[in-house]
Structures are given as C-alpha cells and as structure tokens.
Amino acid sequence: GCFSIHRAPPATRTPRRRRAPSRAVSMVDGATAPKLTKNARRRAKKKEKRNAANGENGAKDATATNGHKKSEVPAVVAPTETTPAIDVEYVSAAYDASDADVLSEFESVFSRFATAEALTSGRDAQTEAADDAVADDTPDSAAPAAPPEEEPTKAAALSRKKRKLLSRMSVAELKQVVARPDAVEAHDVTAADPRLLVYLKSYRNAVPVPRHWCHKRRYLQGKRGVEKKPWQLPEFIAQTGIEKIRKAVEEAEALKKIKQKTRERVAPKMGRMDVDYQVLHDAFFKWQTKPKLSGYGEVYYEGKEFEVHLKEKKPGALSAGLKAALGMPDGAPPPWLINMQRYGPPPSYPNLRIPGLNAPIPEGASFGYHPGGWGKPPVDEYGMPLYGDVFGARAALSGAQSGRGYEMTARGVPIDRTAKWGELPGVHEEPVESDESDEDDDEDARQAALAKQQN
C-alpha cells in the first residue's frame, strides 16, 4: 500500500503575558514602598530562611575541614571498650495445676503457639530434646552405635474438610431416619441439620426452593435457540371472528399505495373492525373461561410447559387414540395383560379391575394365546383364581341378591349395601296384635246379637 505523509502546519504560539513587576521595589527619592501582598511576604520569608540555612552550612564546613578538602579530613576513631557477652535465657511460666480441666480444653489452642524457649533459641525445642536423648543413650566406648529403632508412625492429623466428610451421613442413612424418604435429595446431606431440612421440605404447604439454585449454567440458558410458539387468542375471543376481520383489514392495508396510506393517516376511517355488541357481550360474560394458573407453591422451571399432565388421565381406561397407537382392534386385550397374569397386578393400584386378571373378560372373548386371545387366567393348584373373580362366578349371583343392592369388590367379593351395621342375622321381630283389632271384634259380635233379636 502507499502511504502519504502530510506535513502538519506550524503550531501557533500564544503570546505569554509578562508578569507584572513586583511591588516590593524600593522607591527612589525617599518615596515610601507600597504595601507587600500576602504571596510576596511569603516568598520573602522563604528566601530569608534559605539564605540563613546556607550561611550555617558554610560555617560548619569551614570549621570541620580547617583548610582541608572534605575527602581529606582524617577519620576520628573512638576508643572501643570490651563488654562481656551476656546470654539471656527465657523460661516459660508454668501453668497452674489447679485448673487442669480448663487447661485440657485449651490444650489444642496452646499447642499451636511456640514457647518462649523455642522462639529465642536458634533451634527447635523438640530437636534439642531429641539431641539430648541421643547424647544420653550414646555409650562412651568407641563401638559403633546401633541404628535407632523406628518410632511408630502417628496418624496424620485430619484436616477440617476430611473430618466434616467423615461425620456426614449418607443419603441411605438419612432416608432411614426421616418420615418422608421420598423428599430426600442428594445434596440434603450437606446441610447443617439434614433432618430438620427434610422435615421442613416435607411440611404441608411448604414452598420449595427453585431447582436451578444448584445449576452451574444460568437460568433459562437452555431455551436459547428454541422456537417460541406464536401467541394465540383465547378460545372464547377467537369465536367472535375478530381474528378474521383483522386479517382482512391487514390484507387491504398491504394493497394500498403510499399516497392512500398518508391520506388515511391524516383522516382515518373509523368503524372498519366493528363486531356485534351482543357477540362481544356473550364472549366475555357467557363463554369466558378461566386461564390456567399455577397452583400454590408452583415455581416455573425449564421444560415445565413440555411435561404431560396426568391428572386428567385415569388408570386402566384406554382411549381410542391409545388403542389405535397400540394397534388393538375391538375386543382385543392390551399387550401388557400377559405379563400381569404372570407377575401379578400393579401394586400401586390395588383396587384397579383389569379384565382377564381380576375381573371377567368381555362377552364374546375367550382365553388363549391365539390372536385376540386373553391369555391364561391366574389360578392356584386347586383351580381357584388368585387375584379376583376372573371367571365371573361370584358375579353370577341369584336375582334376589343382585336386586337387593349387592356390589362386587375388585377381588369379586359381594357386599350387601342394604344391610345395617350391627344388625344380628336371623333375628326377626314378631308382629304384636293391637287393641284396636280386639275392639272391632267385640263390636261385630254385638251387632250380630242385635240382628238375631230383631228377627
């Protein structure tokens, strides 16, 4: 590339203002000097001090050298006196033996501080004690000394972090000592009081801490790049047709020219998106529905909108869409019936009635492993059903029992709903004749006697 060099224009200098002459000038012809300003007095005082200091330094130099140069001045050596060497020995104060309990509590604290002997001496007190012990054990003979015996290695002192890890209970131990093991999480054992934490978490109406508190990534960082669904009008507002009217108006606006848009901006036309008042009234006061709101203590987290809500689903009820997805024709058993007949009903739903397992199969169906068959009913060695009335024998009660309010349980046991609690079986009350019937009989006898007399 080419570089062009431009010469900068000469800098223009601003003229410096000359300093006004000091007023501290002696006037000629006996005229009096004007009064000095504050800065002028300060400068004059500093100058006098500087001159006085320079005069004193000159007098000292002249006295010291006495006509010689500064480098040629002979050095005067003061006579030295020999002082005897003094060794100072520091001895620590002995502890009071009467407070042995107090000393035992603070022994770990005192051990972290060095004694006065260790601080003042050049060597460590423990090293000196070891050297003294070796010197005492060494014999005077010239025989080679035996190698010292190896002292037993002491366990290294555990750090604070390791002691905390050793004293911390595991997740399995915490689940055994709390009333709600399902509320225990992996990080609950690191709390100061894990039992109290799990108790507070399992308390009724307790609002949990948002689950992203322990995540390393930022909140809602995983939703970056996910396409957001367009907002939709509620169903009761969309039924008014306002969306179609707005779309037609937007299409008409797109076909207009700039001149027409400018004219309408100045003088807009009103009433182009009017909806019937009765339709709007019915939409908001007749067909309006409540929006889906979060419950008490529910906190939003990533992926909550993609979860399947199973509160509206009922176990054991197969919808038409589920049957089509599983490829089940009409009258065919579910694909998991064979495993349930082999391993038993699900323990989470003990009262669930499953045809072919603890309830009769539908009419027209048959047991077997052929296509459309309902497998083999689970029975014991005597041929009795294991889990319920799978053959429908108990359900086929007499017409009198079925008409008197008998119901069947999940295991096929009939229950009489008409029976009263505490009623003894086989005890019937005898009818008691009333006194009115006796009086009627006496009256009839009297009328018969009067009729005979008249005849």
pLDDT at position 71 is: 46
* Residue listed under structure tokens 């330094």: 57
How does pLDDT run across 199-247, given as a tens digit for each residue? Answer: 999 998 898 888 888 888 888 888 887 788 888 888 888 888 888 888 8
pLDDT at position 24 is: 42
Displacement of CA 224 from its chain's centroid (Å): 22
CA–CA distance, 27 with 29 (Å, rounded to integer): 7
pLDDT at position 277 is: 86
How does pLDDT run across 301-354, given as a tens digit for each residue? Answer: 888 888 887 777 888 888 888 999 999 988 899 999 999 999 999 988 888 999
Contacts by 290-294, CB closer than 8 A, 24 or more apart: 291/234
Between 150 and 216, name the one with better pLDDT: 216
Q: Report how far apart, in Å, the C-alpha atoms of 270 and of each of 261, 264, 346 are.
A: 14, 10, 66
The answer to whether the beta carbons of residues 184 and 178 sit under 8 Å apart is yes
pLDDT at position 197 is: 95
Tell me the pLDDT of the chain averaged across its residues.
75
Q: Report how far apart, in Å, the C-alpha atoms of 96 and of each of 47, 106, 112, 114, 442 are.
A: 70, 13, 19, 19, 121
How does pLDDT run across 90-146, given as a tens digit for each residue? Answer: 777 666 656 677 777 777 787 777 777 777 665 554 555 555 555 555 554 444 455
The answer to whether the beta carbons of residues 168 and 189 sit under 8 Å apart is yes
CA–CA distance, 363 with 52 (Å, rounded to integer): 132
Question: Which amino acid, residue 317?
Answer: A
pLDDT at position 143 is: 45
Structure tokens at 253: 């606006």
